[in-house]
A and B are shown apart, each in its own frame.
Chain A
Amino acid sequence: MNHRFTITVARAAVIFVKSVLMHREFLVFKQVGKSPETMTTASTRQEVIEEGRKHLLIEEGRKQLLINLRRRTTREPSFKLATDTLNFLRKVVLHGTYNNLEELLALLRENGLILSGAYPSELVMRNLVLMVCKLARESNSRETNGEFDSPYDSLNKLWKKEDKENQIGRSAKTIRKKLIQAVNDIQIEMETCREHISAQGQYLVHMNDVLIVHSLSTSTTLSSFLAGAKKDKKTRVFSVQIPTEPDDHDAVSISLCEVAGKMCEATKVILSGATVFPDGSCLAPAGGLSICLAAHRHSVPVYVLCAFYKIAPFFVPDSSAVIKHSLPGLPVAMASKWAGRVRVLQPALEMIPANLITLFVSNTASIMPSHIYRLIGDYYHPDDVANY
């Protein structure tokens, strides 16, 4: 009796596993967009399964990225987010199915839209998607023409006929190889970004300068910039922070309400930017606007540190759409009393207009706010920006 029972259980288990595998296969076919019945030969069937697995791989990577974003309690540095996004995009380029540039761009755009739809406030993700799109176009163009013509320099080539057939007809394998190499280059550039910015600190900060910095504890770029500035120069640093934040030993901590009074002593204000817009305005940690206004009143120069991946190709007319609110951190008694009655405002970021900023310190150079739009041509393609 027992023997029979075990046999039936084993058979049932086998059937279950088979059905699971079948279902998974079905899912794979569903991902590819073809039904298993239409597949005739075994080799084609195997290819489709392989294709579907790659799809699943991309989807899992995307899910993992979004879950990591959802899990975080405080806002992490943009560098980590940029690295994660780039790793995901590399996965898309590597495992994605495409035969030409158009399909690759569509695939990248599709994934990018899902990411930026889930987190519209994280503009860095969108920037990197568009950046990879431009690199894809660049690598394809190099493959066909031998050189890449900047779309912004196309005024003299208006009468030239565009050879679209050449662009489409390139093999996906070569594009993929070149693009992965370009993405790796971006990765290296991002990693060395902090060093380049901190190296500029030696030239921008002078002897006996009094600096006012904001969100020093959360920005590693800012702390490395100050370390670079302090190497051979004696400076005094006022760090604007809330009382609960940990103190930095090298800086005198002041609260935000004291900034306007201290500004008469300061010679420079240094902020870390979250996103830079083409018109020269930028998103900075909340509180930056009042610091900049006070600096403007006292004619103190304001430097904003921003890596290249923070330069956004779009301008956001309503900044409230991209500003995320952080957790308020009120006492429990008060929170229970106010629940449903009071809205506690705690924006994480703040929009600073271009006229309050003196200089953007990027990894390549120090740029005036009015010249930011010129960098956009280096990193983005106008067609990608228009179609996004």
Chain B
Amino acid sequence: MSAPEVYNIAQVPITSHAFNANRSEVCVSLNSNEAQILGKQGSEWVAKETLSEHDKIITSIDWAPNSNRIVTASQDRNAYVWSQAPDPLTGQMIWKPTLVLLRINRAATYVRWSPNEDKFAVASGARAIAICSFDPESDWWVSKQLKKPIRSTVLSVDWHPNNVLLAAGSADMKARVFSAYIKDVDKKPQASVWGEKLPFNTVCGEYSSSSGGWVHAVGFSPSGDVLAFASHDSSITIVYPGAPAVITIKSMTLPYTTLVWTSEDSLVAAGHDCQPILFQGSETTGWKAVGSLDDTTAPKSSGGGRQSAVGRLNSAAFNTFRNADTRGQTSLPGMPGAGSGGESELMTVHQNTISTIRAHAGAPSQVTKVSTSGADGNLVIWTTNAVSGLVGRMSGLRM
């Protein structure tokens, strides 16, 4: 089992990350209104260029692999498409922004390029998803909005491989599948399990999270025939629209906030539990958690390990107060040199919530590596076949 590659990018949260096509550069936003392009030098990622045009925190970034364009979405209600062009003075290639007319009155929360890279979808707090396509006459991106029947903030979107269907997860506890067909851009889509006639804003499916949690993440399987979503009730739901069959896996841990399919019968989800978990299954056999990509049996740096108790009850904060009570120690968790080091450290590679997981290597139907970034400022690349068994608190998991 190969160890994950861990890069500490910053001491602040990474809100989003996106690699370029050959994985030599990564675009990250460090919880600010600027995005940075980092290039790999040796075993370090160094800043090459800063994309600054937004006024408020950037919420999501996506890098189109073939057309080499970056799109950023921000809380300032704007999105920009960045493309490389030579600087008129020096002749160097620099990233230039193009405005997108989103017409939303709340923050943009999430953005993804369509598979053909001729459209992108921007989710927003305005109960709408803006489907953007390029208008060459005016030289900007125009949008058309998916509104009904969304009742709250849209938190994530994912494109179907046919470039027309779009899945959206929303804070109204529902995951939906829409048609985002744009007449001038798309050819008429072929009929699929999701439906035959697909004019813009057709709702092809609407699925509730089992115990009423916000839907944090949605994802189509590589074929596009299966939908998975993770919600804030610590569950993952897999939808087979043909049957229709809905399989819900209730987890024993904290909720997942992000997921990616690694093959037609497996996906990796991660979130507040700070470790990526591999799920496998099919329509007939059901789904279950197979194991963690993270080996959580040992602390990640030197320092005393902690007893694994129920969930996180035996956490750093708990230990701090217990030590203050029983031993008179007043060290604060997370302070360098405080206490015995390992006390405030989690057994996982990520030391805080994982906010983004993406496919890193391999074809969509056979992803061999995934990359994660999170609130601890770490960027980690995992191999998907390196699964360690679920120990302790996961062992009692029943389907």
A and B bound? no
- B-side interface residues toward A, CB under 8 Å? none
- A-side interface residues toward B, CB under 8 Å? none
